[in-house]
Amino acid sequence: MKNNEKGLDNFPALHLENQLCFSLYSLSRRVTQGYTPLLKPLDLTYPQYLVLLVLWQAVENKQNKLSVSQLTKNLKLDTGTVTPLLKRMESKNLLSRTRSTKDERIVMIALTEKGLLLREKAKLIPQALLCQSSADQQEIFALRDQLQKVLTLLA
């Protein structure tokens, strides 16, 4: 009887621990889980936090409104994800959605006072995560740069 009739062949390329994809997938979820307890007091989910990061950064550049498409581009998510996400955030009074008068296809997103003020609490989060990670800052930055490099290659 041949080996493969018993399913005893070796397919090392198919082993879970050999796959970059699985490491990425696991670590990404693990990191999100690390954020959860810090975001819960702010009543935010992780994707909602990412939306606020983009809007807060826009404010620093004196842009107090972003279109939905600018947001989806920044977040690298599609409208099927972002539209309901923004609606949930609107219902929590974190931002407003207003249709542009110049071009009525466009919906502009602006932070509310509540959404802007949340930044004061959120600014403590990155440092808190670094502390609990026991990985030093150099390593985190190196990994981030390597990930961005691969992401660019795939884009």
Partner DNA sequence: CCTTATTATATTGTGCACAAGTTAATTTTA
Partner DNA sequence: TAAAATTAACTTGTGCACAATATAATAAGG
**Residues at the site binding DNA, with contacts judged by CB under 7 A:** 25, 29, 32-33, 36, 45-48, 67-69, 72, 77-81, 83-86, 88, 97, 102-108
Rounded-to-integer distance, Cα 9 and Cα 14, Å: 11
Task: Please say which residue, 17 or 103, places its beta carbon nearer to its own copies.
Answer: 17
Q: Which does 41 bind (CB under 5 to 8 A by kind): its own copies, DNA, none?
A: none
State whether the Cα torsion 109-60-93-82 is positive or negative. Answer: positive
Contacting positions for its own copies (CB under 8 A) = 7-11, 13-32, 34-35, 46, 50, 53-54, 56-57, 59-60, 62, 64, 74, 76, 116, 119, 122-123, 126-127, 129, 133-135, 139-144, 146-148, 150-151, 153-155
Minimum distance from CB of 119 to DNA (Å)?
18
Task: Please say which residue, 32 or 112, places its beta carbon nearer to DNA.
Answer: 32
Backbone angles phi, psi at 109, to 5 degrees: -110, 130
* Cα 23 off chain centre by: 17
Angle of helix 137-154 relative to helix 125-133, nearest 10 degrees? Answer: 110
Going by C-alpha positions, the residue among 27, 30, 15 that lies closest to residue 146 is 27
